[in-house]
Structure 1
């Protein structure tokens, strides 16, 4: 469930950008990695409390998302979707080049928000930090879906996602919506990175597995809705852990991807996705 929350945060960031910018953001993981480095740097080098360092990383993520949209993506309106995807692949190379310049090449350590304590339940144990991550992930999801469904900004995002040209004609500030989407995606990414970092170390490949799994979750859940990829991410996180524990600690992940591949063969539009039929 904890890994499901991490995957869900990353997947929601990807789908928000896809629905508003019509771009599959392959750089979501790289941007999250960079801003996790910012959190770690503020914590280790400046001695800031971890919660304050996280706030610094969130501000950095928002700024980075705004800059990517304003300086790069905003100038690609007439570029094909495939070309936009290639641009995001180029962003990966840029971020991977900048991170060692700013933060060095040595692995860094970021502690858990809640350092100690475990809870036992039905023979299994989970740390208090894991429970906090689960609760935080679910709370963020509920907040995001409330904003999408019940607020004017959510309506603007859904209108832009439905048809950007019509949204502009209706007076929706689509440029601001897209810029905000990149900022929100950056925030979701850095939160996922802060959750992931204590399980390993902060390196250039910190978010590689999370990025791949989040993209697969978007395919599994379907790209046509905001909630489909989140559902797909939680399913993948839970099923993966069950397979690793009960089936094989070595091949559990591979078995999961095989099962998803078989599922996609029979339902290519995902769990929630629907076939789009264009009338002429």
Structure 2
């Protein structure tokens, strides 16, 4: 029982990291009609910025994370203003290729500005707690609580605020949304900014157990995309639930089956689900009338 509880607690932390990144991808997909493959590289770049600020100023890790997220908000706005908004007339595939180009830009800028050596970002809080025979660090509890709280706030905003209505209207039909007076360009820009901030937080949650380096978000990016596919690109909450399911399944397979083959088995299971439910678990089939 204690082993299962340990796996569950670890899965809540890792699933939260995947869920934050996946929610950012979904926000951009629904408002910009493109899959942002650069989510991980933008997050990595902002994590470097936050770590440099922490090292040079000596502020607390929480303050550095806030600074990093503010930097990420600015980066998201700049990316949308100078790149994505200029490509409104291109098809969705071309937009995806543009985001692949953004990966190369941020992967090139990071070592030029911050060096090639990995940096260490400390835990937000220290200490550990025993729970039903399992041990969980206070940092993991902090990550779980902050991740769930932030996603809860975003889902509340999407459902209950004017901004959320604008996002949902833009996601449903941007042309009609513009005709109704909704500033879809600003909605899209805000989505890019929020997505960058969410990705940066997930990167800084991951950093203490890894390090801040160029490839730190590679696995998170792939897993977040898988969560979007499994949950369904037409659902805001589907990707988040799928991210937690993937985190739990990955840890479960790694412990009880094989740590070597766990990823392969997990990908096979996801592929099986997609074969029977191509739109994802929570996705809906979009029918267009001609």
User: TM-score per shorter chain, which class?
Assistant: over 0.9
Name stretches of at least 5 consecutive residues in structure 1 with no aligned partner.
none
Name stretches of at least 5 consecutive residues in structure 2 with no aligned partner.
1-11
2:252 is the alignment partner of 1:242: yes
Residue 168 of structure 2 corresponds to which residue in structure 1? 158
Residue 5 of structure 2 corresponds to which residue in structure 1? none
Residue 135 of structure 2 corresponds to which residue in structure 1? 125
Which shows bigger deviation, 268-277 or 143-152?
268-277
TM-score normalised to structure 1 length: 0.98
Deviations 1:186-208 (A, max 9, x none): 11011001101011111000100
Residue 4 of structure 2 corresponds to which residue in structure 1? none
Which shows bigger deviation, 249-258 or 119-128?
119-128
Residue 95 of structure 1 corresponds to which residue in structure 2? 106
Alpha-carbon distance in 2 for matches of 1:24, 1:200: 26
CA RMSD of aligned residues (A): 0.9
Residue 229 of structure 2 corresponds to which residue in structure 1? 219
Q: How does 1:117-266 map to 2 (within 5 A)?
A: 117-266=127-276
2:79 corresponds to which of 64, 68, 75 = 68
Alpha-carbon distance in 2 for matches of 1:279, 1:169: 20
Deviations 1:196-246 (A, max 9, x none): 101111100010000000000000000011111111101101111111122
Give 1:124 deviation, angstroms: 2.3
Alpha-carbon distance in 2 for matches of 1:262, 1:168: 39
Which shows bigger deviation, 117-126 or 181-190?
117-126
Residue 120 of structure 2 corresponds to which residue in structure 1? 109
Residue 57 of structure 1 corresponds to which residue in structure 2? 68
Which shows bigger deviation, 143-152 or 48-57?
48-57
Alpha-carbon distance in 2 for matches of 1:247, 1:122: 23
Which shows bigger deviation, 121-130 or 133-142?
121-130
Alpha-carbon distance in 2 for matches of 1:278, 1:60: 39
Alpha-carbon distance in 2 for matches of 1:227, 1:58: 22
Q: Secondary structure of the residue that 1:120 maps to in structure 2?
A: strand
